[in-house]
Amino acid sequence: MPLLSKVVVMAPATTANLGPGFDVFGMALEYPYDKVTITKADDGIKIEVYGTAKEGIPTDPSKNTAGVVAEHILKEFSLKVGLVIKIEKGVRPGIGLGSSAASAAAVAFGLNHMFDLKLSYEQLVRFSAKGEIASAGFEHADNVSAAIYGDFVIIKSYNPFEIIHLKAPPSLGVCVAVPKLPALPKKTEKARAVLPKMVSMDKLTYNVGHAASMAVGFATGNIKLIGNAMSDAVVEPARAFMIPGYNNVKDMALKAGAYGVAISGAGPSMIAVIDENSSAPSKVLKAMEEGFKAAGVSAEVFYTKPGKGVTLLEAE
C-alpha cells in the first residue's frame, strides 16, 4: 500500500541527440516543463490533461505515455491500487522537446516516492522509457534520461542501462526555434523510418569524433567545443528535408554568434547553443526566426538554459 496518497512532480522538457549523439545524448531544459499530480484512487488509472500544451494528448492510459509507465510499475510491483494522474502539460507534443518523456519520467519518479520503491535512477529510466513506445514505437531513452537526471546525459549502454551524467557549464544558453508546421501524427516514428539502415565507415568516424568531443566539452565546461561538436553526418542529413529552412536556420544562427546548431530530437524544433558571456540570445533567436521565415515558415522562438531533472514539489 502506498505510503503517500498524493505527490506532485515537475518534469522538464529535454532536447535529444545534440547533433552526433543519436539516442545517446540528452539535455534537460529549464523551460518548459510538465507538472504532474498523482493521487491514490480506488482502482484503475485515470488520466486528466490540463495546461497550455494539452492539445493532442490522449487520455486513454494505454495510449498515454504516463499511463503506460504507471501500468508497468503497478504490474511489476503487484500494487493493487488505482491512480488519478493529472498532467499540467507545459511541454507541447510533437515539436521535439521530449513531451512524452517529461510525463513518463514524472510518473516513474512520482510512483517511486509514493510507494517507496527504492528504484535507482537507471531503473527509473528503464520504466520511463516504456512510455516512449506509446509515442515513438521504440524505447529510446535519451529524453527520459535527461528528464530524470537533469543537465547533460550520455547513455553509454542500453542493455543494461548505464548512464553518465554531467553538469552543463553555467553560461551555456539554449536558443530554441519551433517552426509552425502542420502536426505530423506519430512524428518520431516517421522521423526514425527515414534513417539509413547502414552507415559508412567515414560517417561513423565523423560521428564518433564529434560525439567524443562533445563529451569532453561538457566534462571540461568548454562551450565552444560543445557547439563545434554539434554536427552529425548520419541522422540530420536524412531528416533535414522534414524541416523547411533547416540549412538557413543553421547558417544564420552560427553567423549570429551561436557555437552550434542541431535538430532537437526528432524535430522539427531546432536548438542553438551559445555562451552567454560572448553572444546575445536575442540576436541568435532573431536569426533562427528569420532562417525559418526565409523558407516561408513562421516560428516561435524562446530562450532557455540547461535545467534540473524531475523534482518532487509536494507530497502528502
The least distance separating ligand HSE from the CB of residue 242, rounded to whole angstroms, comes to: 11
| 112 binds ligand HSE per the rule CB under 6 A | no
Residue 190 belongs to what H/E stretch?
Answer: helix 187-193
Minimum gap (Å) between residue 277 Cβ and ligand HSE: 30
From 5-13, 15-23, 69-77, 78-86, span contacting ligand HSE (CB under 6 A):
15-23
User: Which of 95, 266, 270, 273 is the binder for ligand HSE (CB under 6 A)?
Assistant: 266
Reduce the DSSP state of residue 264 to 3 states and report it: coil
Tell me how far apart the 2 most distant CA atoms of the chain are, in Å.
58
Per-residue x/- marks for ligand HSE, 178-217, CB under 6 A? ----------x--xx-------------------------
At which residue does the C-alpha cell 549570429 appear? 256
Does 55 participate in catalysis according to the annotation?
no
Q: Name which of residues 143 to 172 contact ligand HSE (CB under 6 A).
A: 143
In terms of CB distance, is 189 or 251 closer to ligand HSE?
189
**CA torsion 296→300→306→308, rounded to 10°?**
-140
142 binds ligand HSE (CB under 6 A): yes
- Candidates 9, 16, 114, 272: give the one binding ligand HSE (CB under 6 A): 16
Q: Which of 71, 88, 132, 289 is catalytic?
A: 132
- The answer to whether residues 57 and 95 touch, using CB atoms and an 8 Å cutoff, is no
Q: Given the residues 14, 37, 188, 304, select the one marked as catalytic.
A: 188
- Say whether 132 is catalytic: yes
| CA distance linking residue 69 with residue 73, whole number of Å | 6
Distance (Å) of CA 1 to CA 37, 74, 77, 78: 18, 11, 11, 10
Q: Give the nearer residue to ligand HSE in terms of CB position, either 191 or 253.
A: 191
Pick 22 or 115: Cβ nearer ligand HSE: 22
First to last CA, the chain: 14
| 140 belongs to the binding site for ligand HSE (CB under 6 A) | yes
- Residue at shortest CB range from ligand HSE: 265
As a dihedral over the C-alpha atoms of residue 45, residue 51, residue 53, residue 54, rounded to 10 degrees, the angle is 40
Stretch of residues binding ligand HSE (CB under 6 A), selected from 17-25, 29-37, 56-64, 167-175: 17-25
Q: Is 236 one of the binding residues for ligand HSE (CB under 6 A)?
A: no
Give the residue with the Cβ less far from ligand HSE, 1 or 193. 193
Question: Residue 4 has what DSSP assignment?
Answer: -
Q: How far apart are CA 158 and CA 14, in angstroms?
A: 19
Task: Give the β-pairing of 82-88 and 45-50.
Answer: parallel
Residues facing residue 274 across a β-bridge: 173
Q: Which residue's C-alpha cell is 524541416? A: 243
Judge whether 289 and 257 are in contact, CB under 8 Å: no
| Shortest distance, position 158 Cβ to ligand HSE, whole Å | 12
What's the closest the beta carbon of residue 192 comes to ligand HSE, in angstroms? 5
The whole-angstrom separation of Cα 123 and Cα 106 is: 14
**Does the protein bind ligand HSE through residue 269 (CB under 6 A)?**
no
Active site residues: 132, 188
Binding stretches for ligand HSE (CB under 6 A): 16-17, 22-23, 140, 142-143, 188, 191-192, 265-266
